[in-house]
Amino acid sequence: MVGKEGVKYKPAVIKFIGLKGIPIVKKGANIPSLIVKAARENGVTIEDGDIIIITHKIISKAEGRVINLLRVKPSKIAKAFASELGKDPKLVEVVLREAKGIVRMGNGHLITETKHGFIAAHSGVDLSNVDGGSSAVLLPLNPDESARRIREEIKRLTGRDIAVIITDTQGRPLRKGAVNVAIGASGLETLVDLRGKEDLFGYKLRYTFIAVADELAAAAELVMGQTNESIPVVIVKGYKFKKSEKATAKDLIRPKKEDLFI
């Protein structure tokens, strides 16, 4: 292709490849081995520079972060909130256990700050794709650490240096619909600082940060889908990211003192 100045350039091509055939995950499952096996069976070669994006649900299941609601004894406050919200008191009890604080409550929704620091509906507790509603899947205890372990094991199995992003779907202030976001990451800069860079007209950017990990997570959801989660893992090829051994998904959390909505 030829640009405005007559200079030839090669358009960037980024591929999002969903891995089919990963079985229903149970406690103790080896997620890296399942990913490597599924990639091989799908004819996908894991290469240096790939980004492996994983829905948190299979990780939570493997880590035993599933709770049987039938065994939950709701507290008085959980019962009171449940009555106001029209929710199952046992579910509300689990949500409160996973929360560091309540942000908003009303219209059938309980918005909390999770123990990780995420602002999420119902503390990220999920009833879908479990067992018909009698159990709930919780977020991983430490998604960034889970991402790091998975990344290291995949590297051990394949010899390839990759990055890992763990995702969850969340809502956003004053926007309808849920979007996949990064809740855990390892191996890449999750937040890119463009301050000091110039735009097309020479204007120097002063405030711009790009949530790269969230952008990748959102794009991967188009492949994963939401209804049956039969594709819980997506491999991204061709995206040139900045490597990092220190950056995590927690870098994406805005400090409360900078927030305009809470």
Tell me the per-residue pLDDT of 225-251, one tens digit each, with 9 for 90 and over.
Answer: 865 568 999 999 999 999 999 999 999
The per-residue pLDDT for 173 is: 82
The per-residue pLDDT for 258 is: 84
The per-residue pLDDT for 262 is: 65
pLDDT-derived band of residue 144, with 50, 70 and 90 as boundaries?
very high
Exposure string over 41-71, b if 16+ CB within 10 A, otherwise e: eeebebeebbbbbbbbbbbbbbbebbbebee
Residue among 32, 20, 30, 23 at smallest CA distance from 160:
32
Strands 51-55 and 163-172: parallel
Residue 126 reports pLDDT greater than 70: yes
Name every residue whose Cβ is closer than 8 Å to that of residue 151 and which is 6 or more positions away in sequence: 52, 162, 163, 164, 186, 187
For 144, the token pair is: 């960034």
| pTM, entire model | 0.91
CA 80 – CA 101 distance, rounded (Å): 16
Counting runs of H as helices and runs of E as strands, what totals does the chain give? Answer: 6, 13
**What whole-number percentage of the chain has pLDDT above 90?**
75
The per-residue pLDDT for 31 is: 98
Residue 214 reports pLDDT greater than 90: yes
The per-residue pLDDT for 5 is: 57
Residue 139 reports pLDDT greater than 90: yes
The per-residue pLDDT for 226 is: 65
| Per-domain boundaries in the chain | 12-65+140-256, 66-139
Amino acid identity of residue 179, one-letter, is V
Residue among 260, 187, 181, 245 at smallest CA distance from 216:
181
Amino acid identity of residue 252, one-letter, is L
The per-residue pLDDT for 132 is: 63
CA 250 – CA 252 distance, rounded (Å): 5
CA 72 – CA 96 distance, rounded (Å): 12
Residue among 174, 171, 176, 251 at smallest CA distance from 213:
251
Mean pLDDT for 118-128 is 91
Count CB atoms within 10 A of the CB of residue 237. 16
Mean pLDDT for 183-196 is 89
The per-residue pLDDT for 113 is: 95
**CB of 218 closer than 8 Å to CB of 172:** no
Instruction: Indicate the class that CATH gives domain 66-139.
Output: alpha beta
CA 38 – CA 208 distance, rounded (Å): 38
Residue 16 reports pLDDT greater than 90: yes
Residue 2 reports pLDDT greater than 60: no
Mean pLDDT for 90-108 is 94
Instruction: Indicate the class that CATH gives domain 12-65+140-256.
Output: alpha beta
Provide the H-helix boundaries in the chain. Answer: 31-41, 56-62, 76-85, 89-97, 143-158, 212-224
Mean pLDDT for 28-54 is 98
Mean pLDDT, the chain, integer: 91
